A and B are shown apart, each in its own frame.
Chain A
Amino acid sequence: MWKRVSMEEIQQPSYKEYTSAVIKDLSHDTVKIKETKKLAGLPTEILALRDKAFGIEGKFINMVKDFYNAGFHIEISQNSNVEKPIVIDYITNEQNNTLIDYNIIEAEANSQVTIVFDYNSGTKGFHNGITQVIAKEGSTVNIVKIQRLGDEFNDFDNNLVIVGKNAMVNWSNVVIGSKVSAFDVAVYLDEVGGTFTSKSIFLGVDSQKYDMAYKVYHQAPKTTSSVDLKGALKGSAKATFIGNIDIKKGAKKAKAEENETVLLLDKTVKSVAIPALYCGEDDVQANHSASAGQIDEDKLYYVMSRGFSLEEARLLMVQAILNPVIDLIPYDPVREIIIKGHIGRRIIK
């Protein structure tokens, strides 16, 4: 019933090199990092995922597979606990304005890792990427994806997450940049006891257009998922949220939860939510909810009675929704200040 952003709607870039990615050298011997460009071929485990559907649209996937010009293959060895987050800084600028990244994360059994992708700066450009995460038995993988690209960017992000037995993947999207931004996260809970959680936020202003999708497939018993998306829209911004929970027959004792909350700050915004719930198993707990509305007037009044102006009070209420997720992001405080400042400016503007 609903059409997502399609390749035809945006201007296709011509192929260009991209060389400005920065990844913090960890000199940690349990982590192997290689540029995907330099791999002889894709790892067999990734090739084995061929029939797992994912991505915004086939064309975006094919484009990355054929033309990627950046990306990392990160392997975390068995039983290792990588304490410091690995930060991949995808900086864009006038020369490096076409980023097509292919990232592969393989977390071996019982390993733990946090990886932050920061797509930033630039003013005008194009990003389309694939990130594939394989979390093997008992591993914990935390992924944070920050999209704060310049206002004239078109941004596309295709993600595939495979969660192994008793493994856990915690996901977070922070979406505040680009003119058009679409992402799709497909999560396969293929084995017993796998868990996926997502806590994500977005802020759309002016004429920003967002298209966000989470599709969680429960295919094994005792799998758990929780998807939480909160955001605010201002100006003539438009956001589409697709949240699919798909519980296959046999996924006994699966638990699935999905939530979307949108604050609508102007009359001219548009918000679409499609929170679907497919259920082929009876022994489950599944629910979803979506809500949308303005900032609660009683709360505004309360805050203003403490001296805040209307604008300040509104900002505070938006921050109240977004900050809990930003505060969770495990990386350097400077970035946190930059992001919060960015949000503040966008709302006050």
Chain B
Amino acid sequence: MKKPDIKEIDFSIYDVKDNVKYEYQTGKGLSKEVVLEISEQKNEPSWMRDFRLKALEIYQKMPMPTWGVDLSQLDIDSIIAYIRPSAKMQRSWDEVPEEIRRTFERLGIPEAERKALAGVGAQYDSEVVYHNIKESLTQQGVIFEDMDTAVKKYPDIIKEYFMTKNVTPHDHKFAALHAAIWSGGTFVYVPEGVKVEVPLQAYFRMNAPGSGQFEHTLIIADKGSEVHFIEGCSAPQYSVSNLHAGCVELFVNEGARIIYSTIENWSKNTYNLNTKRAIVEKDGIIEWISGSFGSHKTMLYPASILKGEGAKAEYTGVTFAAKGQHLDTGSKMIHLAPHTSSKVLAKSISKDGGISSYRGLLKIGPNAEGAKASVQCEGLMLDDISRSDTMPVIEIENDNVDIGHEAKVGRISDEQIFYLMSRGLSEDDARAMIVRGFVEPIAKALPLEYAVEMNRLIKLELEGAIG
């Protein structure tokens, strides 16, 4: 596959702050009143309101996590839980308010939709402002709907699946928080045997300072179906912290396949505490592709529960931590059935005092006869003031397995730099080329436009143009 050259582009696109009018926002902080207000504003059915209230109780009882990144500076009580732009959800970009449309145009979303996507959802702060899918997919029975609409339109399915059997509010404090105040996101259902050839995309944009985004993504891929879902995230830089605590629940049914790609570029003051999990049935496949570039602090460990015989999971990720960032990422692979297999390739880059950590769990349960798993972690240190930590846990409760784990940390060798410079490259270009080569396995797994986007972000990080 040929890749176009990376064009010089204006990196400031991510940082444009819009002057958008907000129609409604809750006060700062979290209380029963706030939760009730959100539910009321959304005009939700009572079961969802009750679910939220129960989750709030769980949230209030749960302790903050004591491991991972330092969250002592995160003041949830100063975060605006819900903030709605004065825009109704639209199915045509022309009807999206100009200010907001321009933001998404700068980010290239409508253009990408025309060229390479089967459906797009665009969320602006708490609400989805645009959601559309190609007619041909609707005809095949594919559902691609914003989550708030889905709650009303498909109450039976949502009630059955929404944070009940995959991620639940009991999992950890931020899952409970999410359950209480979630807003926006996407619901996808792909019927049996339908293969969605072109990716679906959701783009999440936080614009308001001091706000939180809590979108919920639920994808059900029925037997033998296939879908590629892409998630992009960004926000402009403010002096007050933003909080992103999204939740992704994937159901990969028998023989189905979901590819879930994320290019995350939250502003460098965002706390990104995200929960993603896939339950994979017999012969199903989940592939996570993850590029983490932005945020102040991230805790993100996509989990794959390999529940059915022969289920497969792959996690391919790159994490780039620069100045002021602590990105704690990784993966969880839980093998519960025979002949399941998983593969992790986690790369990290640390620069200008950034801390990148890989935290992983590989668990082979007693029923996972013949399981195969491999984990490979590579840390690249670009200077001596940064950190790279690797903390895997490997738990095996079966003998008929084939497990390998490898990790290494190092820097770019002087010899490599000299070799490239002897072919004319400047030292900076030589470094950039080696870094690009380092993340190539991830770029290769992404569709073209997104690989280019990722390379842009890497270039941006290497130049230290932001943060």
Contact = CB atoms under 8 A, between A and B. Distances in A.
Question: Do A and B have CB atoms closer than 8 angstroms in the complex?
Answer: yes
Interface of A: 1-2, 249, 252, 262, 264-294
Contacts of B396: 262, 264, 269-272, 292
11 contacts: A262-B396, A267-B399, A268-B366, A271-B395, A273-B392, A282-B386, A282-B410, A288-B405, A289-B405, A291-B404, A293-B403
B401 A264 contact: yes
B381 interface: yes
Interface string B276-316: 00000000000000000000000000000000000000000
A293 B401 contact: yes
B411 A282 contact: yes
Return the 10 tightest CB-CB contacts between A and B, nearest first. A282-B381, A287-B408, A264-B399, A282-B411, A277-B390, A273-B394, A292-B403, A271-B396, A290-B405, A279-B409
Contacts of A273: 392-394, 405
A159 to B, nearest CB: 23
B67 interface: yes
Given A272-B395, A273-B394, A277-B389, A284 B409 contact: yes
B403 A282 contact: no
B398 A288 contact: no
B406 interface: yes
Contacts of B399: 264-269, 294
A182 B205 CA distance: 51
A279 B384 contact: no
B20 interface: no
A55 B403 CA distance: 29
Name A's interface SS: strand
Contacts of B90: none
A249 B384 contact: yes
B379 interface: yes
A284 B384 CA distance: 10
A216 to B, nearest CB: 14
B400 interface: yes
A341 B408 CA distance: 38
B348 to A, nearest CB: 10
Contact of B405 (A252, A280, A291): A291
A290 to B, nearest CB: 4
Contacts of A286: 408-410
Nearest to B379: A279
B411 A1 contact: no
A285 B402 contact: no
A283 B397 contact: no
Interface string B332-360: 00000000000000000000000000000
Given A274-B392, A284-B410, A292-B396, A279 B404 contact: no
A275 B407 CA distance: 9
A1 B67 contact: yes
B382 interface: yes
A278 B409 CA distance: 9
Contacts of B407: 275, 277, 287-289
A287 B406 contact: yes
Contacts of B392: 273-276, 290
**Which of B366, B382, B388: most chain A Cβ within 10 A?**
B388
A274 B394 contact: yes
B418 to A, nearest CB: 16
